[in-house]
Amino acid sequence: MFRSKDIALLHDFVAVCEAGNMTRAAQTLNTTQSAITQRVQRLESALKTKLVKRHSRGIIPTEQGKILLRYAARVNSLIEDAVAEISAWEGSPVGAVSIGLPPSVSSVLISPLISAVKERLPGVELTVAEAFSGYLEGWLQNNEIDFAFLFNQVRNDQLSLTDILYEDLYLISNTALAKDMPRELEIRDLEGIPFVAPSRRHGLRTEVQSEAVRQGVELNVVLEIDAGHQLIKQIELGVGVAVLARSSVMSELESGILVAKPIIKPKFTRTVSLAVMQQKSDSFLLNRVKEVILEVVGELIASEQWLGEKIIHS
């Protein structure tokens, strides 16, 4: 019976047929004539038929041997294609990859990430989607995206997580609302201040509101909005304030449009993680893209364009 382990014998059989002589085939394969003869005999035994016959000029394939030669050529072609594709991937993989970014991450990461992937992995087609973290986890689990940046994610068997950095969270306000606030805030200082916030499905909203309830503070949420850029626009207009990371509004803080007030009692922080579904974690393509993502994030942290304490470990 011919088995997968006998496939190696096909190489010797092809060499014999091409050489037309056992001695020349042995020289080509850098072995002995007796070894080549034994391998052809093993192949004939496995297939239960004669594959070569001798004649005055050497060796030629039988009719059965000619059939095997055609298939051997196809096997060799497939192996060559596989080697070529693997070699190409080792240089620059080819494929489509999608990544989901929360608005606070998108604002600092999206431009340098797109540039880095285009430069370092030119064969990768990158698609970027923006949504709050609460939505991204669902998209990830439904295979709508390959990667997602998640906050304070609880580890489970479905997700492969790489923790990237810790970020402090601040009360973000326009200058008019900020002028009457203390330099540093406690949770009780937030009572009565108008808030704009994402809906209750999002972890940060739940965390802040739960702490307020625990301390007997009633937050005045005047607007719920699940659109990052519009949320920031409402803060600029003075509709309300929000608890956010500084990375969400770096340009607005630098221009003086918005103000970041530290919250010290309690201090709110979040862990930013890069997530991929566990069944995709061994993908060569995704791991090459992941390398670039982590490189770009590391560069942003080092240059203080993304403010936080670097972690980057799985």
Domains of the chain: 4-90 (1.10.10.10), 95-165+271-313 (3.40.190.10), 166-269 (3.40.190.290)
pLDDT at 109: 92
Can you tell me the distance from the alpha carbon of 9 to that of 36, in angstroms, rounded to the nearest whole number? Answer: 9
The tokens of 247 are what?
Answer: 């990375």
Nearest residue to 273 (alpha-carbon basis) of 137, 113, 140, 148: 148
Average pLDDT over the chain reads 86
Tell whether the model's pLDDT for residue 148 goes beyond 90.
Answer: yes
Chain-centroid distance of CA 186 in Å reads: 38
- The number of helix segments (H) and strand segments (E) in the chain equals 11, 13
C-alpha distances out from residue 76 to 19, 31, 41, 248, Å: 17, 21, 21, 54
Name the residue with higher pLDDT: 80 or 192.
192
Can you tell me the distance from the alpha carbon of 247 to that of 258, in angstroms, rounded to the nearest whole number? Answer: 12
Can you tell me the distance from the alpha carbon of 244 to that of 106, in angstroms, rounded to the nearest whole number? Answer: 14
What's the angle, vertex CA 255, arms to CA 254 and CA 257, rounded to 5? Answer: 110
The neighbouring-strand residues paired with 61 are 52
Can you tell me the distance from the alpha carbon of 242 to that of 198, in angstroms, rounded to the nearest whole number? Answer: 9
Judge whether 55 and 18 are in contact, CB under 8 Å.
no
pLDDT at 280: 87
Pairing state between β 95-101 and 185-186: unpaired
Can you tell me the distance from the alpha carbon of 280 to that of 130, in angstroms, rounded to the nearest whole number? Answer: 21
Name the residue with higher pLDDT: 87 or 172.
172
pLDDT at 77: 67
Q: In which band, very low, low, confident or very high, does the pLDDT at 87 lie, cut at 50, 70 and 90?
A: low
Q: Residues with Cβ < 8 Å from 259, sequence gap 6 or more?
A: 172, 173, 174, 175, 178, 253
- Phi and psi at 102, nearest 5°, equal -65, 155
Query: pTM value?
Result: 0.66
Q: Of 199-203, 272-276, 305-309, where does mean pLDDT reach its minimum?
A: 199-203
- Phi and psi at 202, nearest 5°, equal -95, 135
If you compute the radius of gyration of the chain from its CA atoms, what whole number of angstroms results?
Answer: 32
pLDDT at 312: 64
pLDDT in tens, 207-236: 888 888 888 888 888 988 877 788 889 999
Q: What is the mean pLDDT of residues 256-274?
A: 90
The neighbouring-strand residues paired with 170 are 244, 262
User: If residue 101 lies in a helix (H) or strand (E), which one and from where to where?
Assistant: strand 95-101
From the CB of residue 291, how many other CB atoms can be counted at a distance below 10 Å?
12
Identify the top-confidence range among 75-79, 255-259, 281-285. 255-259
Judge whether 290 and 162 are in contact, CB under 8 Å.
yes
The tokens of 118 are what?
Answer: 């285009």
Nearest residue to 168 (alpha-carbon basis) of 259, 268, 265: 268
pLDDT at 104: 82
pLDDT at 4: 65
Nearest residue to 138 (alpha-carbon basis) of 307, 275, 282: 275
Tell whether the model's pLDDT for residue 103 goes beyond 80.
Answer: yes
